[in-house]
């Protein structure tokens, strides 16, 4: 399949250019906040009818979230994927024009922001992580679509009929569109799974359960897709000719998700606690 002719620049006004990648981050936060508002407003979904904070506060948190995603994503990329280079070129840390964002770093930054914001409101921080788990798939979906438009983070060569020849590939061979695999698995499919969990099985009533489901689903999807996605060129495969940094960083998320699910399911209520 030839690569669709999509300009990575969505809007250009003179010297000012706005890329689809930037719009994906912005739209992901706005749509996530909008969906989060609906979840927070529906108090019957939550443990004891108490969401982590008031629905109206989601717009304040959206500002926190945007900063946390950008700072955490950039810090994660610097630390996990190219630390030797940035140690020698520290001024390049703030240069994001050529990409360089880590989803794992952004996720950690977002979790920290949610915990701090919720504590400032006196809410249950585990429920705030559940809220993130319910809305984060929206941003992930849009971000992976933007990766595809940028013709970056593509996969290994393939003979599959849906293989794509990316314009940035020096070999110009058909490759796995791994960005779309992740958009479907980590984004769309995981959103549907969590939606069923929250609105059919009322998983938000067990603090930590939705966050655990998200962590397990994301980690398994990422580990699977990394089997066909090419690793960052400066790192390559770390072990056995197939283990990547993305897989290694997903293992703690998988373990954390399992712990959260077990805790949420087995947690006993304190009848004396209001």
What DSSP line would sit under 200-258, residue for residue?
TS-GGGSTTHHHHHHHHHHHHHHHHHTTTBPPPTTT---BTTTB-HHHHHHHHHHHHHH
Question: Sign of torsion, CA 263 265 268 271?
Answer: positive
- In this structure, are residues 21 and 53 in contact, taking their beta carbons and an 8 Å threshold? no
Could you tell me which residues come within 8 angstroms of residue 84 by beta carbon, excluding any fewer than 6 positions away? Answer: none
Per-residue pLDDT of the chain (274 residues; tens, 9 = 90+): 788 888 888 888 888 888 888 899 899 999 999 999 999 999 999 999 999 999 999 999 999 998 998 898 888 888 888 888 888 888 777 766 556 778 788 889 999 999 999 999 999 999 999 999 999 999 999 999 999 999 999 999 999 999 999 999 999 999 999 999 999 999 999 999 999 999 999 999 999 999 999 999 999 999 999 999 999 888 888 889 889 989 999 999 999 999 999 999 998 765 434 3
Q: What is the pLDDT of residue 99?
A: 61
| DSSP state for residue 188 in the 8-state scheme | I
**What is the C-alpha end-to-end distance of the chain, expressed in Å?**
60
- Report the run of H or E that residue 270 belongs to, with start and end: none
- In this structure, are residues 233 and 88 in contact, taking their beta carbons and an 8 Å threshold? no
- The distance from CA 54 to its chain's CA centroid, rounded to whole angstroms, is 24
Q: What is the pLDDT of residue 271?
A: 43
Write down the pTM of the prediction.
Answer: 0.91
**C-alpha to C-alpha distance for 200 and 154, rounded to whole angstroms:** 36
Helix runs in the chain, H state only: 20-41, 58-81, 83-88, 103-121, 125-149, 178-182, 190-199, 209-225, 245-266
Q: What is the pLDDT of residue 89?
A: 82
């954390």: which residue's tokens? 256
Q: What is the pLDDT of residue 101?
A: 78
**C-alpha to C-alpha distance for 126 and 115, rounded to whole angstroms:** 8
- In this structure, are residues 172 and 248 in contact, taking their beta carbons and an 8 Å threshold? no
Q: What is the pLDDT of residue 155?
A: 95
């Amino acid at each position: 399949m030839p690569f669709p002719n999509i300009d990575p620049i969505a809007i250009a006004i003179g010297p000012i250019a706005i890329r689809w990648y930037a719009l994906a981050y912005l739209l992901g936060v706005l749509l996530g906040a909008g969906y989060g508002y609906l979840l927070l407003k529906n108090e019957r979904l939550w443990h004891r009818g108490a969401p982590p904070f008031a629905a109206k506060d989601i717009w304040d948190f959206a500002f926190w979230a945007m900063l946390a995603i950008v700072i955490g994503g950039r810090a994660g990329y610097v630390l996990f994927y190219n630390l030797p280079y940035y140690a020698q070129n520290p001024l390049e840390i703030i240069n994001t024009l050529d990409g360089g964002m880590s989803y794992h770093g952004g996720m950690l930054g977002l979790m920290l922001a949610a915990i701090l914001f919720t504590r400032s409101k006196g809410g249950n921080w585990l429920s705030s992580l559940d809220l993130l788990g319910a809305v984060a798939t929206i941003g992930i979906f849009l971000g992976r679509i933007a990766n595809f438009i940028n013709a970056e983070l593509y996969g290994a060569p393939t003979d599959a009929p849906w293989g794509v020849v990316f314009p940035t590939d020096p070999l110009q061979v058909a490759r796995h569109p791994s960005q779309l695999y992740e958009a479907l698995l980590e984004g769309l499919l995981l959103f549907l799974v969590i939606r069923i969990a929250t609105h059919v099985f009322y998983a938000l009533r067990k603090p930590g359960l939705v966050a655990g489901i998200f962590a397990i689903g994301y980690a398994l999807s990422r580990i699977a897709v990394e089997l066909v996605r090419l690793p960052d060129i400066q790192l390559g495969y770390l072990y056995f000719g197939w283990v990547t940094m993305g897989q290694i960083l997903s293992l703690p998320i998988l373990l954390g998700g399992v712990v959260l699910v077990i805790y949420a399911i087995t947690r006993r209520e304190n009848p004396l606690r209001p």
